[in-house]
Structure 1
């Protein structure tokens, strides 16, 4: 696990808001910022997937954040945005506490996959 000084990245976590469509139905609205925390973004091994009969490169990363009352709220339907490079948007696939000590959350994410 990284040390505190190795959390050199900033990540903003976003969730979809729920809005009324004017007919009494709740639909997914725009992404809204939930919070921003220090993180370590580490690239994992790349892979290729076949989507719509085309080979597409997928760039997986692992984002490590400190365990806190904010970070335990993160869900796979959220997304992470690099606060220093807002064009880097990560889709969250898995959230785990690697050692079970509630010290770190490790998120397995992909960059380059559709949102």
Structure 2
């Protein structure tokens, strides 16, 4: 588990990159731009995003104030076969999809 801060206009890396894991980011303050594969999603404070990080990805701050977020990186499943991730009260998430969980 990591706590990150991105200043306005900053990115976590110059180019998106992938690795074997599952990532979940919760935005504490500001907004977090998340590029995953060919998708770009803006996550607001109080929201979270979970995705299979084998897909090239990176995080950025599109806002005018600093963004703070908590990031968890979990090891990949032991099985080397395609896996369907299930979340209670949410859609199924495959390794090629991104699930955005918005607060009610």
- Shorter-chain TM-score: what band? under 0.3
TM-score in terms of structure 2 length: 0.28
- Which has the larger share of helix? 1
TM-score in terms of structure 1 length: 0.26
- Which has the larger share of strand? 1
Structure of greater Rg: 1
